[in-house]
Amino acid sequence: MKRIIPFFALALFLSVFLVLKSCVINNPKSEECQIIKITIKSITEGSSYDIMFHDNGTDLYYINRGLERGLNLETLNAKVLNKTVTLHLPKLLFGTSEHIAQMAIGDDIIFTEFD
């Protein structure tokens, strides 16, 4: 009985670690993303210098630390507001993230994290 408890504790720890690790988006690849098209209705600044993009409904998508990466809200408003954009959203273990790995209008890439 004394050997079973540490075994289950270790198994639980490893399971929790793997689930949490799968939620971290590191170096996304195009083939690991879901591609969607949305119409941007508003752009706002989020917490931690994120840029938030709102669609017609209740969905919102973000560029992580977009303001730190040299993007600015005025330029993005001029380029994408009320236009249909293509988003690459990384797939996670339990679904798709709202994190934007790439944003494009037609063939014009507005933002990308791909190498």
Q: Where are the domains of the chain?
A: 26-112
Mean pLDDT on 51-69: 93
Please provide the average confidence, as pLDDT, over all residues in the chain.
88
Which tens digit of pLDDT belongs to each residue from 98-107?
Answer: 999 999 999 9
User: Could you tell me which residues come within 8 angstroms of residue 53 by beta carbon, excluding any fewer than 6 positions away?
Assistant: 38, 40, 42, 43, 60, 61, 62, 63, 80, 85, 100, 103
- Determine the average pLDDT of the residues in 54-83: 93
Cα–Cα distance for residue pair 4/17, rounded to 1 Å: 20
Class of domain 26-112: mainly beta
H or E element, residue 64: none
pTM of the predicted structure, to 2 decimals: 0.79
